[in-house]
Amino acid sequence: MRSLNESEKLALSSLTTFNLEYSLIEPTKTGLKKGIMDATSTIREYLLRREFHDYSSQKKGKIGKVVRNAIFIDSNGKQETKVSLYRPETKSGDPRIWIYSLPNWADANDVIAIFVVNHNFHAINISNTLVKAQLNQKTSKIAHILNSKSSSENAIAEELLRKIRDISKSPIPTEVQADTGVGRTLETLLGIPINSNQAPDYKGIELKAFRARSTRTNLFAKVPNWKLSKLKGSGQILKEFGYIDKKGNEALRCTVSYIRPNSQGLLFEFNDRNDWLVETEEKFGDFAIWEFDVLRKALLKKHAETFWIKTESIFIEEREHFIYSKVRHTKNPQLANFQPLIKTGDITMDHLIAKKSPDLAAKEKGPIFKINEAGKGLLFAEERTYDI
């Protein structure tokens, strides 16, 4: 994509004030004539993050083509149109995108900002002179439209924040006397049922409540690709590297990082050729493989928008009580920073494997990828902090 000129940079700056996450695309002369544009990696990641479209699971050719309603915003207001997303049979199925009737609103090499709000696709030409003028006018048609989209985008977060503040007026007794009590208690108070669903907790927002003394917070759980791995399950990992815990059970509870081997000798390494994260041990060698593409998608799915809720813990009559004290509201995970944060040790992984009886299978509550507080500021492009 070409470099933006100064007026386009100013238009984007104005667009940013509406608190709408967007991505950019530039139609070429040939693209406008043929009705085709490349869906770049940036576009693909944005549409996946917004849960609008996943090109990686899309079939090639006409059978896999997806057409959805769309809105193009110009100086006259909202124009209803459609957007198509597809992968051709030729050229390795390189992802494509097309906004119907785009030549009515854009010339070749104009810069189009696209954004998705409540699963609805929108586009606006920031190279258009009239559009640029209206973006700077608070009472213009475009400003009115974008303000309504911004309000819709932020309404759920504001609703959730109000609910957390309402339940935080006094210390709250834990629902269960366990490490999981801090999150489970909050979910119960918010009316969120207990389940193993990997989708975000509250209307698209993930909740991560943690005790103030915690140094790391859960990101997501993801097992290795057992087909690619030398060891084919948590039971085999336990057999090779486990120990007998204080209760006399086989267990493997440890943190694995890229920085140094842990007490069991387990360590992360990168296989850059295949884009893999590999767990290894010096004598045994590589034994578990995660595909980075799968890990990045798990991050997008789980943390497109997250409330990280810092919680003070006090004991009243020997029962733990919680005071939810601060919310860190993040959006837009930066996928390019995921791998570097593993390399710096800001992101690690915990094995939580146990076998309570020789006759029972080993169970693992994970593996769980975790992040420290410093890493959050580098992993997410947008964040706000609210006192409760």
Region of 75 on the Ramachandran plot (φ > 0 left; ψ -120 to 50 alpha; else beta): alpha
Structural domain harbouring 47: 6-153
Among candidate residues 183, 165, 85, the one with its CA nearest the CA of residue 326: 165
Among candidate residues 131, 94, 95, 100, the one with its CA nearest the CA of residue 32: 100
Does one domain contain both 347 and 314? yes
Does one domain contain both 136 and 172? no
Q: Which residues contact 164 (CB under 8 A, 6 or more apart)?
A: 186, 190, 307, 309, 324, 327, 388
Rounded Cα gap, residues 306 and 202, in angstroms: 10
Does one domain contain both 340 and 299? yes
Are 303 and 199 in contact by the 8 Å Cβ rule? The answer is no
Q: Is residue 160 part of a domain?
A: no
Does one domain contain both 120 and 225? no
Side chain identity, residue 80: E
Q: Where is 223: in which H helix or E strand?
A: none
**Burial profile 323-361: b = 16 or more Cβ within 10 angstroms, e = fewer:** bbeebbbbbbbebebbbebbeeebbbbbbbbbbeeeeee
Q: Is residue 1 part of a domain?
A: no
Low-confidence spans in the chain with pLDDT less than 70:
1, 91, 150-153, 195-200
Does one domain contain both 276 and 138? no
Q: Is residue 234 part of a domain?
A: yes
Q: Is residue 377 part of a domain?
A: yes
pLDDT of residue 146: 85
Provide the CATH number for the domain around residue 190: 3.30.70.3570
Does one domain contain both 234 and 102? no
Does one domain contain both 247 and 344? yes
CA atoms within 13 A of residue 59's CA, in its CB half-sphere = 5
Question: SS3 for 276?
Answer: strand
Q: Which residues contact 267 (CB under 8 A, 6 or more apart)?
A: 256, 257, 258, 260, 261, 279, 280, 281, 282
Peptide bond into 95 cis (omega under 30): no
Q: Is residue 163 part of a domain?
A: no
Q: Which residues contact 272 (CB under 8 A, 6 or more apart)?
A: none
Q: Which residues contact 285 (CB under 8 A, 6 or more apart)?
A: 230
Last residue of one domain, picked from the residues 124, 153, 182: 153
Q: Is residue 340 part of a domain?
A: yes
Side chain identity, residue 376: K
pLDDT of residue 200: 66
**Cβ neighbours of 147 (radius 10 Å):** 15
pLDDT (tens digit per residue) in 180-197: 888 889 988 888 877 655
98: which 2 tokens? 């097309």
Does one domain contain both 12 and 122? yes
Count how many domains the chain has: 2
Last residue of one domain, picked from the residues 93, 127, 153: 153
Last residue of one domain, picked from the residues 153, 176, 210: 153
Task: Round the CA-based radius of gyration of the chain to a whole number and report it.
Answer: 24
DSSP state, residue 202:
B
Rounded Cα gap, residues 324 and 182, in angstroms: 9
Does one domain contain both 66 and 175? no
Q: Is residue 162 part of a domain?
A: no
pLDDT of residue 123: 95
Q: Are strands 206-211 and 305-316 parallel, antiparallel or unpaired?
A: parallel
Alpha carbon distances (Å) from 103 to 37, 40, 87: 12, 20, 22
Q: Is residue 159 part of a domain?
A: no
Does one domain contain both 192 and 273? yes
Does one domain contain both 99 and 241? no
**Partners of residue 387 on adjacent β-strands:** 326
Does one domain contain both 230 and 334? yes
Rounded Cα gap, residues 85 and 230, in angstroms: 38
